[in-house]
């Protein structure tokens, strides 16, 4: 029987069958020694084959995992050489960012976007808590919106209390499987509660990224949207993955740089000190935003430190 994984707690999984039956499932031990380098062989979003164990108790055994369309991974907090698969079979990824209370840095946004590009998953940026923006934040939002839209990313300003941008975000989520991410306190849970009032999720239970308490281990969970589609909430993902990205590859995941790579004089150009660099010229000419190039440089430095 085929089923979809809705929640993973490490040892048990919540799965839903094609007929809509919700079951608690375990995995056969073979998955753990099958040459999989991730700390969790099965992730939320996986399609699996199950055998019913106890129909009365609603328990099942996962016997096989079907091929993944895609997945997002991050470095495992406990095993640096292994990956932790956050979620699989995604249509898009959505970052909740705020320019005030708390402030999401542009560097953080760009790391998120690099990860999405690396996994070939379209990314959206929701600038939440727009009702708190004063003149300074409003100007900052307009600049960021212009910069990211020019690269090809969708941005939306949203305020859940005022109802601004909420319907637009819902329309972006409709009929798609979306991974939702964001720092602690950016209003992710408030948005989920606006869609599912009956869940009454506590902010601290879902807003993740703080690395405290329950968030040190990530239990992702998928919800069916009442208007079609699914969202996957991920508490505890502090840094969005950057696993196994080499210095040489990094510029491929900045779309505005990727277009120019073949115009550089050297095919292994890192776009820092090399002569005849098309990327640096584009920065000088104002074609590539200086802030994005600065993000690239900072990420490049961090890769060096990690000895990738």
pLDDT in tens, the chain (308 residues): 999 999 988 778 999 999 999 999 998 776 654 455 677 788 999 999 999 988 777 889 999 999 999 988 876 666 666 777 889 999 999 999 999 888 888 999 999 999 899 999 999 999 999 999 999 999 999 999 999 999 999 999 999 999 999 999 999 999 999 999 888 788 888 898 888 877 666 554 433 333 332 333 457 899 999 899 999 987 655 555 567 789 999 999 999 999 999 999 999 999 999 999 999 999 999 999 999 999 999 999 988 655 44
Quote the CA–CA distance of 239 and 235 in Å, as a whole number: 11
Q: Which residues pair with 23 in a beta bridge?
A: 15
CB count in 10 Å sphere of residue 288: 25
**Close Cβ partners of 25 (under 8 Å, ≥ 6 residues apart):** 3, 12, 13, 14, 15, 48, 50, 59, 60, 61, 62
> At 252, phi and psi to the nearest 5?
-65, -25
Its pTM stands at 0.86
Q: Which residues pair with 4 in a beta bridge?
A: 16, 47
Q: Are strands 177-182 and 92-98 parallel, antiparallel or unpaired?
A: parallel
Sign of CA dihedral 215, 217, 220, 221: negative
Domains delineated in the chain: 2-67 (2.40.50.140), 72-233 (3.40.50.300), 247-305 (1.10.40.50)
Three-state DSSP class for 114? helix
In Å, how far are 49, 74, 153, 171, 267 from 126, measured between CA atoms?
35, 22, 11, 13, 36
Quote the CA–CA distance of 100 and 112 in Å, as a whole number: 19
Quote the CA–CA distance of 261 and 265 in Å, as a whole number: 9
């Amino acid at each position: 029987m085929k089923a979809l994984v809705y929640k993973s707690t490490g040892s048990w999984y919540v799965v839903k069958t094609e007929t809509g039956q919700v079951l608690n499932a375990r995995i056969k031990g073979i998955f753990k020694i099958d040459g999989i380098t991730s700390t969790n062989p099965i992730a939320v979003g996986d399609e699996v084959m199950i055998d019913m164990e106890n129909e009365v108790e609603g328990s099942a055994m996962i016997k096989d995992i079907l091929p993944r369309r895609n997945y997002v991974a991050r470095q495992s907090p406990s095993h640096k050489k292994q990956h932790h698969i956050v979620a699989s079979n995604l249509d898009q990824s959505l970052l909740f960012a705020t320019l005030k209370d708390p402030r999401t840095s542009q560097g953080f946004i760009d790391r998120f976007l690099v990860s999405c590009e690396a996994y070939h998953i379209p990314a959206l940026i929701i600038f939440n808590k727009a009702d708190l923006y004063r003149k300074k934040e409003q100007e900052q939002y307009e600049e960021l919106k212009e910069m990211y839209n020019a690269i090809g990313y969708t941005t939306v300003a949203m305020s859940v209390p005022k109802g601004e941008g909420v319907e637009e975000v819902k329309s972006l989520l409709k009929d798609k499987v979306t991974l939702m991410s964001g720092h602690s306190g950016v209003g992710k849970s408030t948005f989920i509660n606006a869609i599912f009032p009956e869940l009454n999720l506590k902010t601290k239970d879902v807003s993740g990224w703080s690395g405290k308490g329950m968030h040190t281990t990530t239990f992702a969970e998928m919800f069916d949207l009442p208007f079609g589609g699914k969202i996957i909430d991920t508490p505890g993902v502090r840094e969005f993955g950057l696993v196994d990205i080499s210095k040489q590859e990094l510029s491929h995941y900045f779309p505005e740089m990727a277009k120019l790579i073949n115009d550089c004089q050297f095919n292994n150009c890192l776009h820092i000190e090399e002569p005849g660099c098309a990327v640096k010229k584009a920065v000088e000419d104002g074609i590539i935003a200086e802030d994005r190039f600065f993000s690239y440089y900072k990420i490049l430095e961090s890769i060096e430190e990690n000895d990738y």
